[in-house]
Amino acid sequence: MSKREDRTAHWGTCEDEDCMTSMVIYPHPDAVADLPDEDDWENSPFFVDCPVCGSGMDWGGTDHPADILKNY
Protein backbone atom coordinates (compact mmCIF):
# COMPACT_ATOMS: atom_id res chain seq x y z
CA MET A 1 0.00 0.00 0.00
CA SER A 2 1.39 3.40 -0.93
CA LYS A 3 1.71 6.25 1.56
CA ARG A 4 -1.00 8.17 -0.27
CA GLU A 5 -3.46 5.28 0.11
CA ASP A 6 -2.85 5.01 3.85
CA ARG A 7 -4.41 8.34 4.91
CA THR A 8 -7.15 9.36 7.30
CA ALA A 9 -9.35 12.44 7.34
CA HIS A 10 -11.05 13.23 10.66
CA TRP A 11 -14.30 15.20 10.48
CA GLY A 12 -16.42 16.78 13.16
CA THR A 13 -18.83 19.49 14.20
CA CYS A 14 -18.66 22.15 16.90
CA GLU A 15 -20.34 21.12 20.16
CA ASP A 16 -22.03 24.54 20.46
CA GLU A 17 -25.52 24.18 18.94
CA ASP A 18 -25.55 27.89 18.06
CA CYS A 19 -22.31 27.53 16.06
CA MET A 20 -22.29 24.06 14.45
CA THR A 21 -19.11 24.76 12.45
CA SER A 22 -17.89 21.67 10.60
CA MET A 23 -14.22 20.86 10.11
CA VAL A 24 -12.14 18.25 8.32
CA ILE A 25 -8.54 17.64 9.37
CA TYR A 26 -6.40 15.70 6.89
CA PRO A 27 -2.74 15.24 5.96
CA HIS A 28 -1.26 16.91 2.91
CA PRO A 29 -1.06 14.32 0.10
CA ASP A 30 2.76 14.54 0.14
CA ALA A 31 3.10 14.25 3.94
CA VAL A 32 5.37 11.45 5.09
CA ALA A 33 3.02 10.23 7.83
CA ASP A 34 -0.71 10.04 8.44
CA LEU A 35 -2.39 12.09 11.18
CA PRO A 36 -2.23 10.82 14.76
CA ASP A 37 -5.28 9.07 16.20
CA GLU A 38 -7.96 11.25 17.82
CA ASP A 39 -6.94 9.93 21.26
CA ASP A 40 -3.58 11.68 20.84
CA TRP A 41 -5.33 15.04 20.32
CA GLU A 42 -6.96 15.22 23.76
CA ASN A 43 -4.05 16.94 25.50
CA SER A 44 -2.74 18.59 22.36
CA PRO A 45 -3.05 22.32 21.61
CA PHE A 46 -4.04 21.33 18.07
CA PHE A 47 -7.39 20.27 16.58
CA VAL A 48 -9.34 20.55 19.83
CA ASP A 49 -11.22 23.86 19.76
CA CYS A 50 -13.66 25.24 17.21
CA PRO A 51 -11.85 27.89 15.14
CA VAL A 52 -15.03 30.03 15.09
CA CYS A 53 -16.34 30.10 18.66
CA GLY A 54 -13.71 28.27 20.74
CA SER A 55 -15.98 25.43 21.91
CA GLY A 56 -14.87 21.82 21.71
CA MET A 57 -15.31 19.78 18.55
CA ASP A 58 -17.36 16.60 18.43
CA TRP A 59 -15.27 14.41 16.14
CA GLY A 60 -17.84 12.34 14.27
CA GLY A 61 -15.78 9.96 12.22
CA THR A 62 -13.00 9.19 9.81
CA ASP A 63 -12.75 8.53 6.10
CA HIS A 64 -10.05 8.51 3.47
CA PRO A 65 -9.46 12.13 2.38
CA ALA A 66 -10.28 11.28 -1.25
CA ASP A 67 -13.79 10.28 -0.13
CA ILE A 68 -14.36 13.79 1.29
CA LEU A 69 -12.09 16.17 -0.63
CA LYS A 70 -12.29 16.78 -4.36
CA ASN A 71 -8.97 16.17 -6.21
CA TYR A 72 -7.17 14.78 -3.15
pLDDT string in tens for the chain (72-residue length): 455 678 888 888 999 999 999 999 888 888 888 887 766 666 665 566 898 999 988 888 888 888 888 888
Q: How many domains does the chain have?
A: 1
Q: According to the model, what pLDDT value does residue 16 have?
A: 96
Q: What DSSP string runs through 23-71?
A: EEE---TT-SSPPPPGGGGTTSSSS-B-TTT-PBEEEEEEE-HHHHSTT
Q: According to the model, what pLDDT value does residue 44 have?
A: 60
- Report if residue 40 sits inside a domain: no
Q: Is 65 exposed, middle or buried (0-12, 13-18, 19+ CB in 10 A)?
A: buried
**Which residues span the domain enclosing 72?**
1-32+48-72
